[in-house]
Amino acid sequence: MELKEPTPSQLQRVYEADLKASFPAAELKPLHAIETMCEKGVYLPLCLFDGEEIAGECFVWLGRPGWMLLDYLCVSPGRRDKGLGGLILAKLRSAYPGYCILAESESPSQAPDPALAERRLGFYARSDARTAGYDTEMFGVCYRTIYWSDDPVADEILMDQHRYIYQSQFPAEKYDRYIRIPLTPDGQYMPTVTWEQ
């Protein structure tokens, strides 16, 4: 199996068939936003090809050199429970040696389905993710911060790179209104909003 960029028509197909079926509206960017970010060179969709068939995909934001943020990880509905999510992560890490890959996984304490959020965190832990010492809030959804790196990275460095990825893509007003890195423990949670809002 090979992890590589999809064609525009393949991207549209996996967005409709996989991402829309797997992610709630509050967490899913519109396809046109993904396409625009790809054109700007700040976003990269990668699909796991099994011959001509796409078995899953990961989408990443590109940060400063050596840094990226895993935005979506998805296995095609008919191919789940076969270890392909872990394979996608392993291939991503292999394709970008030396990179620190940040990710956000929904916090069980705030998730609509806490058991599912716990299972996701367990999957990432089995896939060698490290847990950062801070949580985040994006558009009203609370996340645990995890990352993959050859060595542990200090939270201050992680937060700086994490902030950079979002601050480089959002106007300051939108960033200040909808994004908290880190999540302040005594703060009020924001209402959940969609990407378009």
pLDDT in tens, the chain (197 residues): 999 999 999 999 999 999 999 987 777 899 999 999 999 999 999 999 999 999 999 999 999 999 999 999 999 998 999 999 999 999 999 999 999 999 999 999 888 899 999 999 999 999 999 999 999 998 888 999 999 999 999 999 999 999 999 999 999 999 999 999 999 776 666 767 666 65
Neighbours of 176 (CB within 10 A): 11
Give domain 2-180's CATH superfamily. Gcn5-related N-acetyltransferase (GNAT) (3.40.630.30)
Instruction: Yes or no: say if 19 and 28 are a contact pair by the CB < 8 Å rule.
Output: yes
The whole-angstrom separation of Cα 34 and Cα 138 is: 17
pTM, 2 dp: 0.93
Domains of the chain: which residue ranges? 2-180
For CA atoms 171, 172, 177, 182, the dihedral sign is: positive
